[in-house]
């Protein structure tokens, strides 16, 4: 008997629909081990290879628990370029420098900018707040040393997707509260803004069968924050911060078929109410993680928008 077609799928971008057909034929992701999930997400870097840039190199910087590996993407041109510290996605448990070569090289070329991709510690081996500690250490280091990479520290920015967008938002909040490095701009791509209360209409509509399932969100959260009291910490759920005033100008991107869509939309509204200059764009027909499919037209449009926002900041 043929499987009943999901009526919601009629609004999907055809290329995204093709991707989902493959995803839905696989073993459910939440039943895989973290090691298997890490190998799976890293394949994106093979399917969607990076763009050529002038230089790509890895550097080790000091961190709170030892050295932090950072991949530096330098574009063609004279510079100095804006420095962008990028935090990869993957539910704080998976994702790697290699898996994000395509996104980071595209950002370096489009803006153009020097992109610093941070290999922060992952859960469950290193639960909250290890990722935040490493990510903030990277911000501090590159704010002091940007000129050594042909980058202008005055234009320092942060960016990330999914869990990485959560980290970027937290780093902006932490820098404001601790009077740390000034961040000129932040790009938050389908962020997880409220880990404590993720249930929204989009969470219910798209929490099954659209690549990022509810069960996977809960697995990631349990690994990242095994102590439930941490869920309401603003450095885990930035949407729960008491005061969002003074955060940097923000571009916030959401995806129509994403369980985190409404979470991101609500956070954009919170930032606007706090007086933060915000541009929010909802990309129709696409799913969580669509920016990684760098050859898709929707991803290309998003890269153009992100680059224009950075240049205007």
Does the residue 13 lie in any domain? no
Nearest one of 85, 87, 100 to 157, comparing CA atoms: 85
What would the pLDDT profile of 244-286 be if each residue is shown by its tens digit?
999 999 999 999 999 999 999 999 999 999 999 999 999 999 9
Average pLDDT over residues 102-112: 97
CB 49 within 8 A of CB 67: no
Domain span holding position 265: 43-312
**Distance in angstroms (rounded) separating the CA atoms of residues 283 and 255:** 5
Per the domain annotation, does 37 fall within a domain? no
Structure-token pair, residue 195? 């880990």
- Specify the pLDDT at position 5: 56
* Model confidence at 36: pLDDT above 70: yes
Comparing 29-33, 226-230, 232-236, 287-291, the range with the smallest average pLDDT is: 29-33
Residue with tokens 């290193």: 126
Q: Based on the number of CB atoms within 10 Å of its own CB, is 41 exposed (0-12), middle (13-18) or buried (19 or more)?
A: buried
Q: Can you give the pLDDT at residue 4?
A: 44
- Answer whether residue 145 is part of any domain: yes
Phi, psi of 279 (to 5 degrees): -115, 125
Q: What percent of the chain has pLDDT over 70?
A: 98
What's residue 199's pLDDT? Answer: 84
As a whole number, mean pLDDT of residues 214-235 equals: 96
pLDDT at 44: 80
| Residues tagged active-site | 162, 258, 288
Query: Which pLDDT belongs to residue 46?
Result: 73
Residue 93 to residue 91: CA distance in whole angstroms:
5
Statement: residue 82 has pLDDT above 70: yes
- Residue 299 counted as domain residue: yes
Q: What is the pLDDT of residue 145?
A: 98
Task: Report yes or no on whether pTM surpasses 0.85.
Answer: yes
Supply the CATH number for residue 122's domain: 3.40.50.1820
User: Is there a domain that residue 18 lies in?
Assistant: no
Domain tally, the chain: 1
* Residue 3 predicted with pLDDT over 60: no
In a domain, 235, yes or no: yes
Mean pLDDT of 211-222: 96
């Amino acid at each position: 008997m043929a499987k009943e077609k999901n009526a919601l799928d009629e609004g999907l971008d055809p290329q995204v629909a093709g991707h989902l057909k493959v995803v839905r034929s696989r073993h459910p992701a939440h039943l895989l081990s973290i090691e298997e999930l890490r190998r799976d997400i890293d394949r994106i870097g093979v399917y969607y290879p990076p763009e050529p840039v002038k230089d790509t190199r890895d550097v080790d910087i000091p961190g709170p628990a030892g050295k932090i590996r950072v991949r530096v993407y330098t574009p063609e041109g004279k510079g100095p370029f804006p420095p962008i510290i990028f935090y990869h996605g993957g539910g704080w448990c998976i994702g790697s420098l290699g898996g994000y070569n395509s996104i980071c090289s595209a950002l370096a070329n489009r803006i153009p900018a020097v992109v610093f991709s941070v290999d922060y510690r992952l859960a469950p081996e290193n639960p909250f707040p290890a990722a935040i500690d490493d990510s903030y250490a990277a911000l501090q280091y590159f704010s002091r040393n940007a000129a050594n990479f042909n980058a202008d520290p005055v234009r320092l920015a942060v960016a990330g997707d999914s869990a990485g967008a959560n980290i970027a938002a937290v780093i902006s909040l932490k820098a404001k509260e601790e009077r740390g490095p000034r961040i000129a701009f932040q790009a938050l791509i389908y962020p997880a803004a409220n880990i404590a209360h993720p249930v929204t209409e989009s969470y219910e509509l798209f929490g099954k069968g659209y690549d990022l399932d509810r069960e996977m969100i809960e697995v990631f959260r349990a690994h990242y924050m095994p102590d439930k009291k941490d869920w309401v910490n603003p450095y885990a759920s930035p949407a729960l911060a008491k005061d969002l005033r003074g955060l940097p100008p923000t571009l916030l991107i959401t995806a129509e078929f994403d369980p985190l869509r409404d979470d991101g939309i609500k956070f954009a509204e919170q930032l606007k109410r706090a007086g933060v200059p915000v541009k929010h764009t909802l990309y129709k027909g696409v799913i969580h993680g669509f920016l990684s499919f760098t050859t898709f037209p929707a991803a290309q449009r998003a890269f153009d928008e992100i680059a224009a926002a950075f240049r205007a900041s």
